[in-house]
Structure 1
Amino acid sequence: MRKAQWIAAAAAFVLVLLTYWGCPVRPPEMEAGFSRGPLQATGVQSLIREAHDDLTPAQAATLSGLESELQAQEDDSLKVEILQQLAREWYQAGKPAISGAYAEQIAELRNTEEAWAITATTYSLCLRQEGIDDKTRQFCGAQAEQAYQAAISLNPDNPENRINLAVTYTDNPPPDNPMKGILMLRELEQQYPDNPRVYITLAQLAIRTNQLERAVERLLKADSLDPGNRDVVCPLAKVYENLNRPGEADIYARKCAELLSENG
Structure 2
Amino acid sequence: MPLFLMKKSQIIVIVLGLISIVVLFSLPRVVVDNDEGESEITQETSSGSVNAEDLHDSEIPEATRTKLSELAFKMDSEVNKEKFASLTDTLASLYAQAGKFDSAAYFLEQAALKLENVERWEKAGVAYYEAYTFALNDQKIAYLADKTRTYLTKVLEIDPERLDLKTKVAMTYVSSSNPMQGIAMLREILEEDPTNEEGLFNMGVLSMQSGQYKRAAERFEELIRFHPDHIQGQFYLAVSYFESKQNNKAKKQFQEVKNMTQDPMVLASVESYLERL
Q: Same fold (TM over 0.5)?
A: yes
Q: Which of the residues 146, 164, 168 maps onto 2:168?
A: 164
Alignment check: 8 A CA contact 1:43 1:139 kept: no
Tell me, in whole angstroms, the C-alpha distance in 2 between the residues paired with 1:260 and 1:111.
41
Give the deviation of 1:154 after TM superposition: 3.3
Aligned to 1:43: 51
Residue type of the partner of 2:85? V
**TM-score (normalised: structure 2):** 0.67
Give 1:161 deviation, angstroms. Answer: 0.9
Residue deviations 1:148-184, cap 9 Å, x none? 21231232112111111111111x31x3x33211122
Mapping for residues 1-264 of structure 1, pairs under 5 Å: 11=19, 43-48=51-56, 51=57, 54-108=59-113, 109=115, 111-113=117-119, 115-129=120-134, 131-132=136-137, 134=139, 136-170=140-174, 172-173=175-176, 175=177, 177-260=178-261
Cα distance in 1 for residues equivalent to 2:134 and 2:229:
30
TM-aligned CA deviation for residue 204 of structure 1: 0.9
The one-letter code sitting in structure 2 at the alignment partner of 1:185 is: L
Tell me the alpha carbon deviations over residues 215-264 of structure 1, each in whole angstroms, 9 at most, x when there is no partner: 011111223333343232221122222333332123222322333259xx
Contact 2:152–2:169, Cα closer than 8 Å, also in 1 = yes
Q: Residue deviations 1:82-132, cap 9 Å, x none?
A: 11121123334443222112122334538345x544432322233333543
Secondary structure, counterpart of 2:160 in structure 1: coil
The code of the aligned residue for 1:43 comes to N
Paired positions, count: 219
Mark the CA change 1:189 to 1:257 in structure 2 (over 3 Å): closer, same or farther. same
Per the alignment, residue 27 of structure 1 pairs with: none
Task: Provide closer, same or farther for how the CA distance between residues 250 and 133 of structure 1 changes in structure 2, counting only shifts above 3 A.
Answer: closer
CA gap 1:123/1:65 in 2 versus in 1, 3 angstroms: same
Higher helix share goes to which structure? 1
Amino acid at match of 1:189: L
- 2-side partners of 1:143 and 1:85: how far apart? 21
C-alpha displacement at 1:59, in angstroms? 4.0
- Cα displacement string for residues 25-77 of structure 1 (whole angstroms, at most 9, x for unaligned residues): xxxxxxxxxxxxxx99x9323545xx26x455434322221111112323333
Partners of 2:100 and 2:262 lie apart in 1 by 34
Task: Measure the CA separation in 1 of the matches of 2:198 and 2:65.
Answer: 40
- The change in CA–CA distance for 1:80 and 1:228 in structure 2 (over 3 A counts) is same
Q: SS in structure 1 opposite 2:222?
A: helix
Q: Which amino acid letter does the alignment assign opposite residue 96 of structure 1? A: F
Q: Where in structure 1 are there 5+ consecutive unaligned residues?
A: 1-8, 13-38
| CA distance 1:222–1:66, shift in 2 (3 Å) | same
SS at match of 1:74: coil
Cα distance in 2 for partners of 1:261, 1:111 equals 42
